[in-house]
Amino acid sequence: MQRDLAELRRQIDAIDDRILDLLNQRAKVVIQVGEAKAGQQREYFVPSRERAIFERLQSANPGPFPTEAIHRVYREIISASLSLEEPLKVAFLGPQATFTHAAATQQFGLSASLVPQKSISAVFSEVASGRANYGVVPVENSNEGIVSHTLDMFMESDLKVIAEIQLGISHFLLSRSGRMEEIRKIVSHPQPLAQCRKWLEENLPDVPQVDVASTALAAQIAAQEPETAAVASEMAASLYGLRAAAERIEDNPNNFTRFLVIGRKMPDPSGRDKTSIMFSVKDEPGILYRMLEPFNKRRINLNKIESRPLKKRAWEYIFFLDMEGHLADEAVSAAIEELRTHCQFLKVLGSYPQTI
């Protein structure tokens, strides 16, 4: 038996050597791709190409390697490859260990340079100035609704949405010891505390809860105070050396946040895209019908429509609309141009691949 185990381990070592050799062969080709892109002044990060790689490999996987793990493995392979072409600098709404940080890591991998910013406007500024290649900002939560500051920033910015990220939100109760009976105080941002209210009332009813500025700050506090626990992300546990006293304590397991990747150039069509626009219209009879009719008669599916009050004029609204398709599609561009005739203002925020 011991001899059989040793032989199996030698086989694994030989396979790992082959994988390493193939990774380096892939890296050499990636460097050539980077040189070709530089000569053509093309974007290094191409969301549609990444999605095509993930989908092709996942559909071709015969097993037993788990199909769901292929995305995670190749996320890091592609991240490392991009760093060979051009080190990507990505600004995100910080601090570290927040869910926006987790979303940025999910999209760009660990080889990208992820730089936390103190505000959503700072993320836009970093990308607009060229100090960062891309930015990651939250735009809506399935429970809490739209992130209005992100949408407001698009009013002032010429940046484009180039990708979207869907992140399942799971909250962990973290402390230094990981023992529930030692917890005397719970700290977190007000939103996670609200999302875990029922669980906390049932399991720690007499423990006071304290609001802080972010889940990352909560984790920092818990790392310094032995009897304090933080409601924070799983990423925060590894970053701040904490242990989980309880996992996935959110009251609603179907809790997702959608994030947008912003950049300076709209990506080419991928074949399965989404287009986001914002516009305002005159308040007059039948205007809602005329807003939607250009899309209805072209059978364009609308994923979302959201309204926000215009800050400059009372009782007037700005609308945000997501639709299936790319601006390069004839039906989509025609529908938008027809809508424009009814608008006081219209801006295309971007066309980008839909999430897998």
Q: Is 156 exposed, middle or buried (CB count within 10 Å of its CB: 0-12, 13-18, 19+)? A: exposed
Nearest to 137 by CA among 83, 87, 188, 99: 99
Q: What is the CB neighbour count within 10 angstroms for residue 247?
A: 12
How much is the average pLDDT of 68-74? 88
What is the chain's length?
356
The average pLDDT across 54-80 equals: 89
265-298 pLDDT tens trace? 988 888 899 999 999 887 777 778 888 899 999 9
Mean of the per-residue pLDDT values of the chain: 88
Tell me, what's the pLDDT at 92? 95
For the ranges 132-136, 216-220, 263-267, 281-285, the lowest mean pLDDT is seen at: 281-285
Q: Among 154, 136, 75, 146, which Cα is nearest to 100's?
A: 136
What is the pLDDT, as a whole number, of residue 50? 82
Tell me what pLDDT residue 1 has: 58
- pLDDT tens digits for 8-30? 889 999 999 999 999 999 988 88
CA atoms in the 13 A half-sphere facing the CB of 276: 22
pLDDT of 314 reads 55
Rounded CA separation 323/326 (Å):
9
Q: Which structure tokens are listed for 110?
A: 């660990």
What is the DSSP code string of 133-154? Answer: SEEEEEEEETTTEE-HHHHHHH
pLDDT in tens, 302-322: 998 888 777 666 557 788 999
What region does 160 belong to: left with phi over 0, alpha with psi -120 to 50, or beta?
Answer: beta
Lowest mean pLDDT among 166-170, 184-188, 224-228: 166-170
Q: What pLDDT is stored for residue 54 in this prediction?
A: 87
Residues with catalytic annotation? 257, 259
Q: Kindly indicate the confidence band of residue 349, based on its pLDDT and cuts at 50, 70 and 90.
A: very high
The amino acid that residue 141 corresponds to is N
pLDDT at 197 over 80: yes
Percent of the chain at pLDDT above 70? 96
**Mean pLDDT in residue range 323-348:** 93
Domains in the chain with CATH codes: 2-84 (1.20.59.10), 87-169+256-263 (3.40.190.10), 172-246 (3.40.190.10), 273-353 (3.30.70.260)
Digit-coded pLDDT (tens) for 244-266: 999 999 998 888 889 999 999 98
- What pLDDT score was predicted for residue 289? 83
